[in-house]
Structure formats: structure tokens, C-alpha cells
Amino acid sequence: MGLSQGYGPTDDEESIRVLHRALDLGVTMLDTAMSYGQGHNERLLARVLAGRREQAVVATKFGIVRDDSGVRLDGRPEHVRGYAEASLSRLGIDVIDLYYLHRVDPQVPVAETVGAMAELVRDGLVRHIGLSEVTADQLEQANAVHPVAAVQFEWSLLWRDPENDVVPAARRLGIGLVPYSPLGRGLLSATLAVEEIDNSDFRRSDPRFHGDDLARNLKQIAALRDLAAGMGLRTGQLALAWLLEQGPDVVPIPGTRRLDRVDENIAAAGVRLTNADLSRLEEVVPRSGWSGDRQSFAVPVKARSRP
């Protein structure tokens, strides 16, 4: 997403170098969405995949519609195939490996949307289906219609609420866990300058990056940085390693626009934390020490009636 929107100016040529570097180092999943830059991100990815399609599991999402009139949710079954075909065209591929419902449309039962997604699997346009930002109940409802391969949600040291409900529900159903923002929108890398916050649409509206909440979180970050340094790691690497240690079903998707960050993030996959390390981490940066509720992810929905 950050290569097309949300975190300031982007450079397509540099973005392609970043993604090629990721593939060169063994990254095997690339995650995008039709809403990222109103299709720009998928077209960018098409340039990256040219001649290298076999190296990557390609995941994209539908359901958040961004256009000149604004932002809305659309999970109507009759529109699902059209969205998938448009994504396939922009990506320049024949099949989507993992197709997510980006957000549940509050006017459409999730089971109805998933039913239309199941038809895409039947017809060979999609290999596996996923859901993003759903409740445990919605996950159950969807999986009853068609097996759900993966659920995507925010999860990191900074935001651990999914451990209460979505994570156990997904594990009970055998659904893979795909945490986005595993570096806390850059905060867990301990490299984010405070003055950069207002340059990002996503940080600017997030309470965790402002006022007393930010002050408390920065104290946690300082403690995390010191702990990581004592282990010979960068702060972000320790945060990613912690997430990877949560189970073999966890596949975090850190995003970056910088070549050096690609190398740094991938190196975290080689870090092994002992039980003693994990206990120490909980002691130094306890879950209760983070402050601020994350921004609301509700997308304004234009008034409409179902046909």
C-alpha cells in the first residue's frame, strides 16, 4: 500500500527496485489491493511480476472502492466477478492466488459475498479466498460457505487485541494468520521521526501517534530498542521475530519503500527467540504498557439501497 498511498510521496522506479530486491532475497508473497492508489498498486505489481510470476504468491483484495467520488464499501455478490477480472487485468496474470474481501460491506451478509468468491475458485480465476478485518463470528460464517485460507488483520507488539478473539477463532478453523502493520506503522522500527507523523494519512488520524499516548508508546519503544541492541538486533527485527514466534501459521507482511529496510526485515526471519527471550520481552515491553486505541477502520459508505 505504501508504494501507492498513505505514507507520503512515492517513486515507481524505486518501488520496483524494492520489490525486485524482495523477490531476489526469497520473499514469496506480495500483497496488494484494488483500492491502493485506485489500481495503481496492482499495475505497479504487474511490472514487477513480468517474467517472475512463478516466484510469488499474489494476494489482492476487493471491497474498498476508491474513486473520484470518494471511498465506499462494496461486497455485493453481483460485483465480485467484475472486481476480480479488473484486478487480473491490472496485475497482468491469469489467476489470483489469494483473493481477500478487504472489508465486510455492512449492507451485505458476509456469507453472500463469500458465496460469490467461491464461484471464482470454481471457475479458476482464484485459488484461495481470504478475509480482512473481520470479527470471529464473521470468520465462522464465511468459513461455513467456503474454506477460508487466510485472515488479515493488524497485529504487532503495539496492537495485540486480535489475540483475544480472531486469532483463536482462526486457529480453531485452521485459517492462516496474516498480520499487516507488523511494525506498528513504522513506530516499532524505532526510526520514525515525530515530524513525519503528519505526512502520513494513516498516522495523522491514529491516536497512538499523538499526545500522551505517543509519549507512553515512545517510552516502550526506547525499552524495546535497548533490549534489541543487547541481542544484536535492530528494533524492528525484534518486533518481527516476536510475531513470527507466535506460530508457524503466522505470515506477517511488513511494507517498506526502502531497499535497506527490505534486507533488514527479511533478516528477522532468521532470528530465533527462546522462551526466556519471549518472557523478557513481555517484562520489558508489557502488553499493558502500550497506549491508545487504533484509528477506526470504518470506511464511509455512500447511502444506497440494494437492488
Distance between CA atoms of 24 and 106, rounded to whole angstroms? 41
Distance between CA atoms of 97 and 211, rounded to whole angstroms? 42
Sign of CA dihedral 197, 25, 246, 297: positive
3-class secondary structure, 138 = helix
Tell me if 60 sits within 8 A of 117, measured CB to CB. no
CA distances from 166 to 138, 139, 297 (A): 10, 8, 16
Q: Point out the catalytic residue in the list 7, 36, 83, 99.
A: 36
SS3 content of the chain, % helix, strand, coil (to 5): 50, 15, 35
Burial class (CB within 10 angstroms; exposed 0-12, middle 13-18, buried 19+) of 233: buried
Dig out the grid coordinates for 261 from the structure: 529496510
Residue appearing with cell numbers 524505486: 14
Question: What values do phi and psi take at 224, rounded to 5?
Answer: -65, -40
CA distances from 173 to 18, 128, 139 (A): 35, 15, 9
Active site residue 36: yes
Nearest to 53 by CA among 85, 95, 17: 95
User: How many other C-beta atoms lie within 10 A of the C-beta of residue 38?
Assistant: 14
Q: Which residues are catalytic?
A: 36
